Chain A
Amino acid sequence: MTQHSNLLEIQHLNLYFGKKHALKDINLGIPKNKIVALIGPSGCGKTALLRTMNRMHDLNPDVKITGAIHFDGHNILHGNTNPVRVRRDIGMVFQKPNPFPKSIFKNVAYGLEINGMRDSAEIRQRVEDSLRAAYLWEEVRDDLDKSALELSGGQQQRLCIARTIAVEPQIILMDEPCSALDPISTGKVEETMLQLKEQFTLVVVTHNMQQAQRVADFTAFMYLGEVIEHGDTSRIFKHPEHELTKNYVHGRFG
């Protein structure tokens, strides 16, 4: 992971929830058009780290963050950076599928409309493309006006992915996107992820080590708020340098 090829560069990042020091001096690069997995036991700060990457912590007044995340020539944590801008470029798929209580079509079109797309033919085309890219088109093409809440959990999650793809962000953050899904849906979502890497850069939080090995090019192992070790996925799993990493990937704790 060399400096110049990284799309996102996290430097000396610290995060506090009130008094609790939740992320400690994180340094990590996210390379372009790759999938990076963040693994580690529950409570190690994976999700907290992911949410700093698109300023989701802004919603919580108790959170204090220091350090920098460089993206596209800016520090996205800087007070002058507009979080709306950041989130448009760095999208997020959540742990629990969260489609809006609107129709399938409107869920995907939503991001396009707020970003100023007015031409309905163009919106229609983009919705179709996004649903195809999320492998959902064939299943929903005839009921685009149906409420998104009537879809199954796996379909809802792929809808959320389609919704995110539609606005064409550069990076897609995924917070344990399959933890609420059954194995078949999980397979479909993973397939989607591998396709998406052609066009996007993905950062995926997962507690499923098989999933990390199946989809991720790079893996970072976190423990108690620190990145213990990161590198090629195969190396992290086959030849971990750190004792903690070794114990974790071999399932000795979690």
Chain B
Amino acid sequence: MRRRMFWDRLFERIFAGSALVAVLTLAGIFVLLIINAMQAFGTLSIRHFFSNTPWNPSAYEIPTFGIGALLSGTILTTFGAMALAVPVGIGTAFFLSEIASVRMRNLLKPAVEMLAAVPSVVIGFTGIVLVGPFLARLFDLPNGLNALNGSILLAVMALPTIVSVAEDAIHAVPHTYKEASYALGANKWETLIRVTLPACYSGIVAAVMLGMGRAVGETMTVLMATGNATAFPDSMFSSVRTITATVAIEMGEVPSNTPHYYILFACALVLFLITLAVNVGAEHLASRLRKRGQ
């Protein structure tokens, strides 16, 4: 008996210890980014970092590091992606949960899951071989590697997240709401727009935010498809370079413990904080929805 209780307690501790690892990992990432970023701000002023200073780490005389252009690259591609993915994603979610027959659902849901499973580097590759040439021909550009290309690819990456989270939210709307609406003579479309949509609104916003988090943090697709010019973009047809792409390109080439190295950590910290804020916001909305559901 004593031996059995010993194992029981031992395993309880092992399980709790594993849970601690999850917390420590998140804390570890955060602390590591902060420590390394702090080193960067020893030599570089924060104001300078966030101003419109150009990003020019390999300048012959004095390298300059301004995250402004990179941040605008990230923001431009992300918002472009959202403009494309949000209507399509939410539309698909409504179709899946309210209109599709069981057979259609059984076909469509695996398709969404498969799309989610396609590696980002393969999506990036389609940006080079399909989307790029297509855009170049359509808009008569020298090449199609630009912010629009990145946005289209990021939309593809964000779609599965938006569809599945939004579908869960729509699914959670009580049947009684819809029945009440039908009973008042509303048709399917009116019920959908005026009853179901308002009832799951915060869940849909959460879906959009999670999709956005996905797009902001995506590296390989934008790295391959946006052209990677470090100038401030003028339009969707400009070649841009996102924060993620910058880290991916430059981290492999800088020596450790140099100012440039630490500044890349500072970039990653900015990225981390953006995605953290987006995720916390989405979770807050989702939990509000859960509470109201009870």
Contacts and interface: CB of A to CB of B under 8 A. Distances in A.
A/B touching: CB–CB < 8 A: yes
A84 interface: yes
A2 B41 CA distance: 82
Interface string A71-90: 00000000000101100000
A85 B8 CA distance: 13
Task: Classify chain B: how many residues form its interface, as a range.
Answer: under 10
B4 interface: yes
Interface in B57-99: none
Nearest to A116: B4
Interface in A168-202: none
Contacts of B8: 84
Contacts of B4: 84, 114
Nearest to B8: A84
Contacts of B5: 82, 84
B215 to A, nearest CB: 40
Interface string A85-126: 100000000000000000000000000001000000000000
A144 to B, nearest CB: 26
B193 interface: no
B294 to A, nearest CB: 15
A241 to B, nearest CB: 44
B11 to A, nearest CB: 14
Interface string A196-219: 000000000000000000000000
B172 to A, nearest CB: 25
Contacts of B20: none
A11 to B, nearest CB: 27
A85 B1 CA distance: 8
Contacts of A82: 1, 5
A84 B7 CA distance: 13
Contacts of B1: 82, 84-85
A49 B5 CA distance: 27
Contacts of A85: 1
Contacts of A114: 4
Contacts of A84: 1, 4-5, 8
B211 to A, nearest CB: 36
B26 to A, nearest CB: 26
Interface in B1-21: 1, 4-5, 8
A114 B3 CA distance: 12
A84 B4 CA distance: 10
A84 B8 CA distance: 11
A193 B4 CA distance: 31
B8 to A, nearest CB: 8
B189 to A, nearest CB: 44
A84 B5 CA distance: 9
A84 B1 CA distance: 9
A82 B4 CA distance: 12
Interface of B: 1, 4-5, 8
8 contacts: A82-B1, A82-B5, A84-B1, A84-B4, A84-B5, A84-B8, A85-B1, A114-B4
Q: Which 8 A-B pairs have the closest CB atoms?
A: A82-B5, A85-B1, A84-B5, A84-B4, A114-B4, A82-B1, A84-B8, A84-B1
Given A82-B5, A85-B1, A114-B4, 5 more contacts: A82-B1, A84-B1, A84-B4, A84-B5, A84-B8
